[in-house]
């Protein structure tokens, strides 16, 4: 074993950043391990942007022009995520790498992934988090006797993670593990049950290779869109031009439209239009196929934009994702499974640890089309702590897109701001468990809430902690009391 720590966070995406900051702020020694040489997960490795809206909607703001290039389906309601997310956005903005949420951005946050990479490292180092980059988790060890917990039996456990590295395999031991791999790798290795894809056929949302184009003439594009307003809706469209290109044999895309997001600087645009379906993001052969197919689609899309779409004549690909973006893989079966009705009916839970106002948003797993189902105006739903606690294993908390929920609910809570929020909660829960020498399941939700509120997280009125610690569980708050 090369290192021992209180909390080991595996995965440095939005959830991992939230988890590491949450655990460190709660007083734990934290190691964050990541397979890439940089942080950010999908936000940087797959160039996924912008940070989707974390505001409730109040009416739909009018786009200034038809081609606003920002999703305009959120109004100026209230932010339902703060805490670690607010810290990250503030830092990226101060470094000139993000535009704050406003009516102009549809309450999303466009950001520069290169700035986010730097900001994330700075924030974590300042918080005292030890980084372990270039480290791919390939397995877990059963509970190590030196780190055994008091007072809890049953279930299988995992206290050490094996990483494949340039220095050979290494093991990091931890009192509590936080699985922020997006794919639920750690909980899966430890034997947790999981679901994948939609119920009828197991198909997941498609993968997408995203890319950024530079020297895009936005005023020219906007003029075209204003003159052809039936052909563009906020961030997507060009149906007629696509049809013509298909008939000419130039395009063979599964997607029926082009989806574009404006960047931080004029002249830059982010293209979310490749689509690779019916392949699994947990299968190396499928992932290889997805990289090959999506890069072929990228070439077609770029040629189409340059040749047929006004404003793109002189544009070029300045950067593509270093890997294909994976929307959906394992959803770990937890103590509570968040359902579509919880989302649409804006349900609230006693053990809320994060909130979400983003709609159900499913890119069709088998073909064209996208299903969008919004929450009622001014509303959000709560995510309970139980969604982060896998059934049947101990010592592991999950966060981000692999938490417990249905295919439909996942399509809502998967967005990056909410992943950061569940990450922060998982980190806090792991830190409290480690400090008390108990399993995460034994930590009272009210204690997680109290620490999250202290850290500036936003849990809504319903979430004010109601309990004081009466269980003498040995957690940090018991000791304070
Ligand atoms: C094409 C696409 C478009 C999207 N559009 C948006 C959007 O516009 N706005 C938005 O907010 N959300 C969007 N999303 C959703 C969002 O990007 C993800 O759901 C979110 O990033 C999930 O965060 P996460 O931290 O759980 O996982 P990830 O972002 O996937 O991060 C997981 C991290 O763990 C690391 N990792 C994985 N396995 C291992 C391992 N075994 N060992 C070590 N490290 C490992 C990865 O390298 C990565 O850094 C989109 C997703 C995709 C794919």
Contact 66, 237 (CB under 8 A): no
Final residue belonging to a domain, choices 282, 299, 320: 320
Is 18 in the same domain as 140? yes
Is 142 in the same domain as 252? no
CA distance 415 to 428: 20
State how far Cα 6 lies from the chain centre.
24
Is 234 in the same domain as 285? yes
Give the pLDDT score at 3: 83
* Residue-by-residue DSSP string for 108-160: -B-B-HHHHHHHHHHHHHHTTPEEE-S-EEEEEEPPPGGGPPSS---SEE--E
Is 263 in the same domain as 347? no
H or E element, residue 417: helix 416-436
Q: Please provide the average confidence, as pLDDT, over all residues in the chain.
A: 91
435 assigned to some structural domain: yes
377 assigned to some structural domain: yes
CA of 10 to the centre of ligand 1 (A): 13
Is 123 in the same domain as 13? yes
204 assigned to some structural domain: no
CA distance 326 to 209: 9
Q: Among 48, 177, 270, 280, which is best to mutate for testing ligand 1, by the most ligand atoms less than 8 A from CB?
A: 48
Is 316 in the same domain as 336? no
CA of 33 to the centre of ligand 1 (A): 15
- The parent domain of residue 462 ranges over 3-198+329-480
SS3 category, 352:
strand
Q: Among 32, 33, 36, 42, which is best to mutate for testing ligand 1, by the most ligand atoms less than 8 A from CB?
A: 42
pLDDT, one tens digit per residue, over 2-42 is 789 999 999 999 999 999 999 999 999 999 999 999 999 99
State how beta strands 136-141 and 160-164 pair. antiparallel
399 assigned to some structural domain: yes
CA distance 265 to 36: 26
- How many CB atoms lie under 10 A from the CB of residue 230? 9
pLDDT at 184 over 70: yes
Is 192 in the same domain as 220? no
pLDDT, one tens digit per residue, over 238-288 is 999 999 999 999 999 888 899 999 999 999 999 999 999 999 999 999 999
Is 363 in the same domain as 246? no
205 assigned to some structural domain: no
Is 42 in the same domain as 120? yes
Question: What's the pTM?
Answer: 0.94
- How many CB atoms lie under 10 A from the CB of residue 153? 6
pLDDT, one tens digit per residue, over 123-157 is 999 999 999 999 999 999 976 443 444 444 444 45
Query: Which ligand 1 atom sits nearest the alpha carbon of residue 399?
Result: 26
Mean pLDDT, to the nearest integer, of 199-219?
97
pLDDT, one tens digit per residue, over 154-172 is 444 557 999 999 999 999 9
Mean pLDDT, to the nearest integer, of 102-129?
96
Tokens for 391?
């059934």
Give the pLDDT score at 148: 47
pLDDT at 481 over 50: no
Is 384 in the same domain as 448? yes
């Amino acid at each position: 074993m090369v290192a021992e720590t209180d909390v080991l966070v595996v995965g440095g995406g939005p959830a991992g950043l939230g988890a590491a900051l949450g655990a460190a702020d709660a007083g734990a020694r934290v190691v964050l391990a990541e397979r890439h040489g940089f942080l950010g997960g999908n936000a940087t490795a797959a160039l996924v942007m912008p940070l989707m809206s974390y505001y409730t909607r109040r009416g739909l703001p009018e786009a200034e022009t038809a081609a606003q290039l920002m999703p305009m389906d959120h109004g100026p309601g209230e932010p339902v995520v703060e805490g670690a997310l607010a810290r990250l956005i503030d830092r990226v903005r101060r470094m000139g790498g993000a535009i704050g949420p406003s009516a102009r951005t549809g309450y999303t946050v466009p950001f520069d992934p290169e700035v986010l990479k730097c900001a994330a490292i700075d924030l974590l180092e300042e918080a005292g988090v030890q980084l372990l980059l270039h480290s791919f988790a390939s397995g877990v060890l059963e509970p190590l006797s030196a780190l055994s917990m008091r007072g809890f039996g049953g279930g299988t456990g995992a206290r050490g993670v094996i990483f494949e590295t340039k220095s050979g395999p290494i093991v990091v031991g931890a009192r509590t593990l936080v699985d922020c791999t997006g794919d639920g790798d750690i909980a899966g290795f430890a034997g947790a049950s999981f679901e994948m894809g939609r119920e009828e056929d197991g198909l997941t949302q498609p993968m997408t290779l995203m890319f950024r184009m530079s020297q895009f003439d936005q005023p020219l594009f906007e003029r075209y869109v204003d003159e052809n307003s039936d052909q563009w809706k906020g961030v997507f469209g060009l149906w007629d031009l696509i049809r013509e290109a298909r008939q000419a044999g130039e395009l063979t895309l599964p997607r029926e439209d082009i989806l574009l997001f404006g960047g931080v600087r004029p002249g830059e645009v982010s293209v979310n239009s490749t689509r690779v379906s019916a392949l699994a993001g947990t299968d190396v052969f499928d992932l290889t196929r997805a990289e090959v197919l999506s890069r072929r689609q990228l070439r077609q899309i770029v040629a189409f934009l340059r040749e047929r779409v006004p404003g793109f004549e002189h544009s070029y690909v300045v950067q593509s994702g270093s890997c294909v973006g994976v929307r959906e893989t394992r959803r770990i079966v937890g103590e509570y499974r968040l359902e579509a009705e919880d989302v649409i009916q804006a349900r609230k839970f006693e053990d809320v640890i994060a909130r979400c106002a983003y709609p159900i948003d499913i890119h069709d797993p088998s073909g064209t089309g996208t299903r969008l189902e919004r929450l009622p105006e001014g509303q959000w739903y709560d995510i309970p702590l139980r969604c982060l606690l896998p059934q049947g294993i101990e010592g592991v908390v999950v966060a981000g897109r692999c938490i417990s929920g249905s295919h439909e609910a996942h399509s809502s809570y998967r967005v990056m701001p909410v992943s950061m929020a569940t990450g922060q909660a998982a980190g806090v829960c792991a830190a409290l468990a480690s400090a008390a020498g108990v399993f995460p399941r034994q930590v009272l939700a009210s204690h997680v809430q109290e620490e999250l509120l202290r850290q500036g997280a936003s849990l809504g009125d319903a979430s004010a902690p109601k309990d004081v610690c009466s269980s003498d569980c040995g957690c940090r708050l018991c000791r304070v009391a």
